[in-house]
Amino acid sequence: MRIPVRLALAAAALAATMAPAPLSAELPASNPFAAQSPLFDQAPQFDKIRDSDYLPAFEEGMKQQRAEIDAIADNPAPPTFENTILAMERSGELLTRVSKVFFNLDQSNTNETIQKIKAEVAPKLAAHNDAINLNPKLYARVKALYDRRDTLGLDAEGKYLIERDRVGFIRSGAELSDADKAVLTKLDEEESTLTTRFVDKVLAATNTGAVVVDDRKKLAGLSEGDVAAAAEAAKERNLEGKWVLALQNTTQQPVLGSLTDRALRQRVFDASVKRGDGGADDTREIVARLSELRAQKAKLLGFPTYAAYVLDDEMARTPQNALKLMTDIVPAATGKANGEAARIQKQIDSEKGGFTLTAADWELYSEKVRKAEYDLDQAELKPYLELDRVLQDGVFFAANQLYGITFKPRPDLPVYQPDVRVWEVFDADGKSLALYYGDYFQRSNKSGGAWCDSFVDQSRLLGTKPVVVNNTNFTKPAPGAPALISFENATTLFHEFGHALHGMFQNVNYPTLAATPRDFVEFPSQFNEHWALEPAVFAHYAKHHATGAPMPDALVAKIKKAKTFNQGYMTTEYVAAALLDLAWHTLPPDAPKPEVDAFEKAALARFQIALPDVPPRYHSTYFFHIFGGGYAAGYYGYMWAEVIDDDAWSWFKENGGLTRKNGQRFRDMILSRGHSEDLAQMYRNFRGRDPIVQPLLEERGLMARPK
């Protein structure tokens, strides 16, 4: 429910039903959020928006939507699709408008004022959404419509919208008795307290777990810069003259790729895996209680387990489906990891190491194997990867070949930062389709990583077209110098543009049916990455920035081979963590409170993924995603989406690859459809069957490619 209002109508409705609102509630017309942007496709008026415009727009936006929702809930007329479901879709136009711009800039171009506003507005927004989701009169109307949805004369999308609306309310607890609502609130509060405590304890354990080194010689293998950083970290802890090796959140520690002192490697590794497992910052009690209370919460809401509750709203739909896909990967992944271990042992033996490989040795010796067999010199590659060429002759070119779309710069539209670029995107028939913003360079006031977002979402009901933005953090070149990027950066461009295509091709009626769940959302983006190495696309963009010469074949072959390096280890550690997550969250509500270490050990053994040299990417006691963040029962989702994107890629390969016909089919059956139908069925319609894991195993080099 993130949408517009006819402002005039809303104001009229308000005036008719309430005492005159105080004047202060009105947003001055000078506020650029007060009305729809008059710019092309409602592009944000970045030349007019000032930081002082946000807060009043948020306040007024929430007030307006509250009034709209109350008017729907209190409407004396019997509920209809129009006066309830569509009215909800149309509500909150101003709030959506300001939120879209504000939260984008909070990520990409923030400042102290924006951060202060966010801190003030975030709890208010949470309360605002709760008030809508737990409004009993509103839910009663939705439920009444849901019960007779087959008699309302709706098309499939309209019917699906009612179903999704009902699910949203149910998941918030709308169907519970008042007593059970109180229990749910208590469980939610306890969960929130415990996850916060978990985060605090793991941070503390990670801090105190940092390894102190007395002897400079023991740091052999580290670069001068890393040694200096370790000395600095020691100084900060009043340990002058010593060195401190800080821990990262994963089980494996990057520093283990360099340290040549075996005893020190073991100390670092042990410090990592012991976080939260005993000591002052023990998290085991929290882990056990969280899994227990989540099972109770699921039961209250009518689900057998917490994973069943979470996955009911995902593409996977059931824990059994997610478990099957993960366990299908286990034999190939562990088999490959065992092969990698044997290769590493050979390396150790060839150096007369005289010891048997353990997890603490893996990073150092696999790095040696990488250098010997997979080495990829970025300095050699970069001259062939110039940002603008990769973008226009690679990313845009592939999209043109597949979907027929073309791009025209729109320097006339305002931007929030001078490096940001804007293109108008045209469909194959020449009609304007969308606006695409690109913000590619790193800045001190921009979040790290890369992402896709939107300023305006497509909706036929609201008559809006997509206004989409990609962000990356590439190093900005000196004035006049070419922007040369790594192959990983180039892949990132394809990835984020895959999200952008998903947004730009979206062709749904209702805003609520735009967002797709997290186990699906990375499918279009990861799928689009495949074109980066497609020969016809690659040859079109990978040219020397000065001479225009194509990248030598030997370099291309190295890029392809490097993709499969260490994939046995990486796949196994990931799947082990995903299976642990599912194990914790498929505990039935009446199960006895588990003992954490024993439970984890038994689960890994049960899934046949207990390799001593390849521990889970996170052990339970420091698994932030599931006990400290929002990924409980959802960690599988990253690889679920990868299974699907590789499976879809295999369809393209079977059907002639890069053609307009194939692209159109993918656009019509997947990219244009948002979440307007069941996603597993949507995929089945496209592929002719459910996804299978074999294509992923091939892409990751975990099994031989069929001839």
| Residues of this chain, 212-241, that bind Zn ion according to CB under 5 A | none
Q: Specify the DSSP class assigned to residue 16.
A: H
Residue nearest to Zn ion (CB): 525
Cβ-based nearer residue to Zn ion, 525 or 572: 525
Please tell me whether residue 459 binds Zn ion under the rule CB under 5 A: no
Q: How many CA atoms lie within 13 A of 141 on its CB side?
A: 26
Provide the minimum distance between the beta carbon of 439 and Zn ion in the complex, in angstroms, as a whole number.
16
Cβ-based nearer residue to Zn ion, 89 or 522: 522
Cβ-based nearer residue to Zn ion, 100 or 499: 499
Pairing of strands 243-245, 451-456: unpaired
Q: Is 440 helix (H, G, I), strand (E, B) or coil?
A: strand
Cβ-based nearer residue to Zn ion, 340 or 522: 522
Per-residue x/- mask for Zn ion, residues 507 to 546, rule CB under 5 A?
A: ---------------x--x---------------------
Provide the minimum distance between the beta carbon of 481 and Zn ion in the complex, in angstroms, as a whole number.
29
Q: What are phi and psi of 447, to 5 degrees?
A: -65, 155
Provide the minimum distance between the beta carbon of 548 and Zn ion in the complex, in angstroms, as a whole number.
32
Provide the minimum distance between the beta carbon of 470 and Zn ion in the complex, in angstroms, as a whole number.
10
Provide the minimum distance between the beta carbon of 639 and Zn ion in the complex, in angstroms, as a whole number.
14
- Report the distance separating Cα 362 and Cα 371, nearest Å: 14
Q: Among 88, 78, 219, 109, which residue's Cα sits nearest to residue 442?
A: 109
Provide the minimum distance between the beta carbon of 649 and Zn ion in the complex, in angstroms, as a whole number.
16
**H or E segment at 569?**
helix 567-584
Cβ-based nearer residue to Zn ion, 525 or 650: 525
Q: Which of 386, 496, 522, 529 is catalytic?
A: 496
Q: Which residues pair with 454 in a beta bridge?
A: 468
**H or E segment at 423?**
strand 421-426
Q: Among 401, 380, 381, which residue's Cα sits nearest to residue 537?
A: 401
Total binding residues toward Zn ion, as defined by CB under 5 A: 2
| Residues of this chain, 365-424, that bind Zn ion according to CB under 5 A | none
Provide the minimum distance between the beta carbon of 451 and Zn ion in the complex, in angstroms, as a whole number.
7
Q: How far is CA 118 from the centre of its chain?
A: 21
Q: Do the beta carbons of residue 77 and residue 83 sit within 8 Å?
A: yes
Cβ-based nearer residue to Zn ion, 81 or 103: 103
Q: Among 261, 258, 227, which residue's Cα sits nearest to residue 366?
A: 258
Cβ-based nearer residue to Zn ion, 135 or 525: 525
| Residues of this chain, 76-115, that bind Zn ion according to CB under 5 A | none
The structure tokens 């046949």 sit at 608
**Burial track 340-378 (b if 16+ CB lie within 10 A, e otherwise):** bbeebbebbeeeeeeeebebbbbbbbbbebeeeeeebee
496 carries an active-site annotation = yes
Chain length of the chain: 707
Q: What are phi and psi of 243, to 5 degrees?
A: -130, 140
Rule CB under 5 A: which residues touch Zn ion?
522, 525
Q: Which residues are catalytic?
A: 496
